[in-house]
Amino acid sequence: MTNLTVGVLALQGAFVEHLTLLRQAADDWLRQQQHEPSTATATTTTAPGSSPPGAFPSSHASPHTDADRWNADADADAHISIRKPNTDEESTTTTTTNLTHISHFTFLEIRTPPELARCDALILPGGESTSISLIAARTGLLEPLREFVKVARKPVWGTCAGLILLAESANETKATGQELIGGLDVRVQRNYFGRQVESFEAELQLPFLHDSHPFHSVFIRAPVVEKVLSPTTTSGSVPSASDDDGTAPVPPTHMQCTKPQVEILGRLPGRAKSIRDKTTTAEDLGEDGDIIAVRQGNVFGTAFHPELTGDGRIHRWWLGEVVKAKMEEPNASPAR
């Protein structure tokens, strides 16, 4: 049996929404596995008053806190269960299948270093990046987060504020500066599109999803990737555009390793340039648009909020990438 634990940093922001879509993604992933054998069948039973696996909770449903567990035995009958903390209420899905890879999912809210240490992968949700950074520093999480991303190099996804925290450099930070986690060799600009009232929604084409259907995205005081830095450039050597810019600290030499190039996975054509001078668009300048999704090795970042739309496609894609990373670990073995 191969277990996989995914955490969502729960210091501030939309962590509950991420957990909901992760549960949905895990359910979809396991259902996809069940269809590989031609004889696979499935039955679902749900306890009274609870939502079926993967479903969005109703507006009056209690949000999940602390930990949500998905268990699947690797035998012919796989069993997935979700237990709400502090209750005996349980939803159950039974499948006849032969799971050959991940057979047990656990989703956790992360607030302490011991909780982080349990994780194979992590999501940094949107919120206010300065507040998240300050709380992480006060709770002793900042350095463990840096080690998780840069030394252990476990899969990490940051949305909006999470993207800012994962950048090696950021501008438009508070006058006192902002501590970053780092991991992405990019420079981001906070609040690139303006204030809260200038938040907007847009339809994005995201080729990495291998789906021609546009992804409806939500941008709330969103950043953009202003510049892709060289993987060989350490954060300490990145020049700052102003005194209040933030940079992530450089790991000790013995912890540094060769990093892959930054991949640009998504752009928003035209909008920011037209906002800036009201006439010129990114297309007019011969550009493809503002960078709003990037990946570098184990680190993935989006400037928008996929968790606020109810569309679980990015969560499913990312969970699949986490599964791949887990199975590629030297000590990983197929489920028995």
Verify whether residue 305 is a known catalytic residue: yes
The residue annotated as part of the active site, out of 172, 179, 226, 307, is 307
The residue annotated as part of the active site, out of 18, 64, 104, 305, is 305
| Burial grade of 121 (CB within 10 A; 0-12, 13-18, 19 or more) | buried
Rg (C-alpha) for the chain, rounded Å, is: 20
The residue annotated as part of the active site, out of 160, 168, 226, 315, is 160
Q: How far is CA 245 from CA 10, 63, 178, 202, in A?
A: 25, 36, 8, 29
Verify whether residue 315 is a known catalytic residue: no
Angle formed at CA 206 by CA 204 and CA 207, multiple of 5 degrees: 145
Angle formed at CA 178 by CA 176 and CA 182, multiple of 5 degrees: 160
- Tell me the pairing of strands 121-124 and 77-83: unpaired
Verify whether residue 89 is a known catalytic residue: no
Cα 149 to Cα 184: distance, rounded to the nearest angstrom: 10
Residue 334, helix vs strand vs coil: coil
Q: Catalytic positions, please?
A: 160, 305, 307
